[in-house]
Structure 1
């Protein structure tokens, strides 16, 4: 997607992930998604129609909670119509090969990222099936923390887990703890859920694996893997400042104790280790071999498949051995649990991936790519990055991501290819990542937590604390501008 800009800065082959072998390296070499069509359709009836269709589709996406229609549906249809309109116009002008090439480039961009995300989601689902997250929740419940400790613990874990487990999964896990421990205390649940959403989004902003937007920037080859981590302190400020203010109104009381014992299923710890090995493989493919990181992720899926095969084959012997041990010890509870153990199947985990999210991402990528091909992103880039200072443009786009999902915002910026320093690219990564925290509907984590803590964590409950969250947003930007000033050169 952004290989042209990267190529200007780095003469050797771009170390990007998610591009297919030699052909993809050529295809996605700087120009892939920055393609602008030979025909300027921005002032045409076709262009206006396409723009209107995209706006309508996105209005339906934003109304997902009200109309109960999955967000992937409208953008999938919109993508088909937009590219259909482009194809028709280009066929009429004898330029069908140009539109076909642009569509293929846009599709390949999505495919690479989808495979990366699919592997990550499969590992997360595998750990969920092996009860890793249930065990973590159980541990926190048994400790009997007071409200203030629970507020900081769930927020802190959300911040440090989201760079690895993604902000959505982390937010849901921490929300499950809060709603169970503080059941009935809507005021505390609302406050704790706000903290979790802010922390999860902030934690995801400084890691290439923490959020789709950071993944997109790393994929584009603009920022090296290790450079994302200079956003750690700004992201930490974004979490800590509003959390500190919110914690002042939490009553110093202890919830009723909740006892829940969860035993992880066989192989859980080894799957965690394989996930870390997979991430390491992806990073090494990118940094040492100049190969797309998706190669490492798909190899990691192979690790999981082999391990799943081992778990299935060795299950009978393992069950027989454990039955003998538990019978000798007289542990009837563990004997009963053995009856529920089923063989691990990696393909069941793939099937449980967030397909609505992946298809939504496809629709957004294709819609934005089509509008960019028509020339609209060129106009937007000119207005934002030529008419404004890049810093202000990136700050404003971060606020916009609280209303419009950060995926199309980041994808649009990447497709525009504005000439910016690494510091500015990190700034838009930060603002797009944490800007969604300003509203409960501004991020996938916020929307998911609203569904899980329905009635306790609400849009208006979050909105009352938006000024405090905005304070953290501004502070994180200022810290980045000051602390990482050298990257703006």
Structure 2
């Protein structure tokens, strides 16, 4: 009976999160509380299921970016990039893609689109260009770029915290090459599809060139402090294997240092108010929901089922994980899926699979790239859609899917070839 209750609560919560009728953090936390009320587990067990390292890492990055954006550096960079290509539509599309991908790799994709999309919408409105190609490019690039690093996409953060020997550099080394290939192919597809529809207006471009980007940049001590600490934190991530300090400690240290340095200029309470608490509480509720499945043994059964399907064969298991995570993440938010799959992969080692690293990389690729499949496939997609709607540029779910699904299939095909050639060839 307990197993049925845990499954019903998990599925019901999942469906409500997908429909977005209620706030997803509220739904996830309500599901966790229902598991407590039905005595699936106790409070001390519920807190044990929450991955506090992931929550602390996300919180720290939010604090760092919240302070840094007050300097106007991100708006300044966006305007300068548009001026660099002289307001030409196709180069602007390419610059948008590169800026979003790089930002998503080193800041996380949700934060990047929150900072960049309002500026982008203002620029394309000024140039009288259609918004959809640029918004589509932003979403695709944020999910692809976020795949490359440990902090780029929430699924990677969760995987990185679950596997001790995975470092910041590990993700760049293992996922970076295929991400670059997929990014270039996707950008080529978008330019071929929309390039001819983006008309260049020399007069409007001249107005853009006359804009003073420095007006948006607040050159002050805060600018140098925030940029210095942000860069030091990212360097710390890269040096993680050598300094023997976990990335959460590095991120928390960076956030605290910047808060101390800017205490006189900024109110700490105001900085904390700008943290995306909804996202953090969503993660907490999610971990509690998955903990319920783990308690009643559903996770163990999923692991057994995967071993049974693959016959314990590593290449088959990796391909099953890549395609199932990719296709399912295209339909539902990838965060709940990865939260459910992490304990499954961990259980595989108990069934004789000693080297499950290819399975982890398959999960990361499938979940992050799968977010491009539909408008609800990743948190960044939902954020961009919301920002676009608030600027009277709504994105249709069906219209997005017509472009997103082909990009998803292309990404999974390229990822399959990459995983097979790099990790699985000796096992075939």
TM-score, normalised relative to structure 1: 0.75
Asked whether the 8 Å contact 1:421–1:487 carries over to 2, the reply is no
Q: How many Å separate the matches in 1 of 2:43 and 2:217? A: 53
User: Number of matched residues?
Assistant: 397
Task: Quote the residue 1:148 is aligned against.
Answer: 90
- Cα deviation digits, residues 426-465 of structure 1 (max 9, x gap): 1111111111111111111111111111234321221121
Which of the numbers 210, 232, 235 marks the counterpart of 1:277? 232
Give the alignment of 1:270-349 within 5 angstroms: 270-282=225-237, 284=239, 286-288=240-242, 290-309=244-263, 312=264, 343-349=265-271
- TM-aligned CA deviation for residue 402 of structure 1: 1.6
Task: Quote the residue 1:19 is aligned against.
Answer: none
CA gap 1:366/1:488 in 2 versus in 1, 3 angstroms = farther
Q: How many Å separate the matches in 1 of 2:274 and 2:121? A: 24
Asked whether the 8 Å contact 2:82–2:92 carries over to 1, the reply is no
Give the alignment of 1:133-144 within 5 angstroms: 133-143=74-84, 144=86
Q: How many Å separate the matches in 2 of 1:126 and 1:281? A: 19
- TM-aligned CA deviation for residue 477 of structure 1: 1.0
Which of the numbers 413, 436, 448 marks the counterpart of 2:341? 413
Asked whether the 8 Å contact 2:329–2:337 carries over to 1, the reply is yes
Which of the numbers 288, 303, 318 marks the counterpart of 1:391? 318
TM-score, normalised relative to structure 2: 0.85
Give the alignment of 1:46-195 within 5 angstroms: 46-64=2-20, 67=21, 69-87=22-40, 102-107=45-50, 109=51, 111-143=52-84, 144-183=86-125, 188-195=130-137
2:163 paired with 1:236: no
- Cα deviation digits, residues 293-343 of structure 1 (max 9, x gap): 32222221231123113xx2xxxxxxxxxxxxxxxxxxxxxxxxxxxxxx2
Q: How many Å separate the matches in 2 of 1:368 and 1:280? A: 33
- Cα deviation digits, residues 25-75 of structure 1 (max 9, x gap): xxxxxxxxxxxxxxxxxxx2x3222222222222222222xx3x3211111
Asked whether the 8 Å contact 1:401–1:432 carries over to 2, the reply is yes
- Cα deviation digits, residues 179-237 of structure 1 (max 9, x gap): 22322999832122112111111111110111111111221215233221121121122
SS at match of 2:284: helix
Asked whether the 8 Å contact 1:213–1:410 carries over to 2, the reply is yes
2:205 paired with 1:264: no
Q: Structure 1 regions of 5+ residues with no counterpart?
A: 1-43, 91-98, 313-342
Q: How many Å separate the matches in 1 of 2:80 and 2:126? A: 21
2:155 paired with 1:213: yes
- TM-aligned CA deviation for residue 488 of structure 1: 7.4
Q: How many Å separate the matches in 1 of 2:224 and 2:126? A: 34
2:332 paired with 1:404: yes
SS at match of 2:195: coil
Task: Quote the residue 1:321 is aligned against.
Answer: none
Q: How many Å separate the matches in 2 of 1:215 and 1:154? A: 24
Task: Quote the residue 1:444 is aligned against.
Answer: 379
- Cα deviation digits, residues 11-33 of structure 1 (max 9, x gap): xxxxxxxxxxxxxxxxxxxxxxx
Q: How many Å separate the matches in 2 of 1:60 and 1:186? A: 38
Asked whether the 8 Å contact 2:326–2:367 carries over to 1, the reply is yes
Task: Quote the residue 1:223 is aligned against.
Answer: 166
Asked whether the 8 Å contact 1:282–1:294 carries over to 2, the reply is no
Give the alignment of 1:30-45 within 5 angstroms: 44=1
Task: Quote the residue 2:352 is aligned against.
Answer: none
Q: How many Å separate the matches in 1 of 2:408 and 2:363? A: 16
Superposition CA RMSD, Å: 2.5
Q: How many Å separate the matches in 2 of 1:240 and 1:347? A: 42
2:419 paired with 1:481: yes
2:182 paired with 1:254: no
Asked whether the 8 Å contact 2:75–2:116 carries over to 1, the reply is no
- TM-aligned CA deviation for residue 350 of structure 1: 2.4
Q: How many Å separate the matches in 2 of 1:265 and 1:104? A: 43
Asked whether the 8 Å contact 1:231–1:426 carries over to 2, the reply is yes
Structure index of larger Rg: 1
Q: How many Å separate the matches in 2 of 1:290 and 1:104? A: 27
Q: How many Å separate the matches in 2 of 1:377 and 1:114? A: 22
